[in-house]
Amino acid sequence: MRTLKYLPQILILILLISCQSTNDNSNEEGQWWTKEERQLILSELDRTTEELKTEIENLSDEQWNFRGGDGWNIGEIVEHLEMQNQLHYREISVIANSPQHLEYRKITEGGDDYFIKYATDTIKGQAGWFLTPKGKFNSKKAAESAFYLARGKLREYVETTPADLRKQFTFRSPMYEKDLSELTISDVRDLHQLLLTGIAHTDRHIEQIRNIKAHDDFPND
């Protein structure tokens, strides 16, 4: 009889637990971003950081500021990369805490190669005003420190985030102008693919630095 007396309260408790469980898993269909994919991003961030360090750590100020044509010098390239890492950190950390829209998986699934091949794409990109170097660092050391800080914070986020970066999406065209069926991989990417883009972008600029150092007039110490 004692059990029957408390039966309504027990049923309510069970219902509340059930509803909580349903809410916690309402946007999940298993883990899409795998441990292997997280490790891939970490390894590639480490690789590109070390390759950039190898290319710039022993440069003199004259080499750092050498301009072999109408493009950026090495100092400007590093400033540009520092800004790109800051922007990607902000974009990823904000979107990872936003509502999931899993319908976009239809577009991004299997599309990683599109972003990986950007590293060797021969079409020259054009940086937006917000990624154009402004000469904000007063020394090579300051620019290097700023880049390593931004890259380190991005790496730390990738290593520790509980977010499923395959279930969060970022866009490069106005979504209200197209139906879902009209969108392509150039319009939308998941956050893992955004990280792949940043890695490929770094590879492109490492190669640019190597080409500057190979210039006939590059100063030799």
pLDDT tens profile 157-169: 999 999 999 999 9
Per the CB < 8 A criterion, the answer to whether 164 and 103 are in contact is no
Is residue 194 in a domain?
yes
| pLDDT attached to residue 25 | 34
Per the CB < 8 A criterion, the answer to whether 118 and 201 are in contact is yes
Is residue 100 in a domain?
yes
Angle of helix 191-213 versus helix 74-95 axis, rounded to 10: 180
**Residues 6 or more apart in contact with residue 164 via CB below 8 angstroms:** 28, 31, 32, 33
Burial grade of 5 (CB within 10 A; 0-12, 13-18, 19 or more): exposed
Least confident range from 71-75, 171-175, 205-209: namely 171-175
**pLDDT tens for each residue of 28-61:** 459 999 999 999 999 999 999 999 999 999 999 9
**Residues 6 or more apart in contact with residue 214 via CB below 8 angstroms:** none
Q: What is the DSSP letter of 73?
A: -
**pLDDT tens for each residue of 55-111:** 999 999 999 999 988 899 999 999 999 999 999 999 999 999 999 999 999 999 999
CATH number of the domain within which 98 lies: 1.20.120.450
**What range defines the domain where residue 114 resides?**
34-213
Beta strands in 91-176 (DSSP E): 169-171
- The total number of structural domains in the chain stands at 1
Is residue 192 in a domain?
yes
Is residue 19 in a domain?
no
Closest CA to 73 of 58, 83, 61: 61
Is residue 85 in a domain?
yes
| pLDDT attached to residue 173 | 85
Per the CB < 8 A criterion, the answer to whether 52 and 206 are in contact is yes
- Three-class SS of 200-218: HHHHHHHHHHHHHHCCCCC
**Residues 6 or more apart in contact with residue 112 via CB below 8 angstroms:** 192, 193, 196
Q: Return the number of other C-beta atoms located less than 10 Å from residue 17's C-beta.
A: 10
Is residue 6 in a domain?
no
| pLDDT attached to residue 137 | 94
Is residue 134 in a domain?
yes
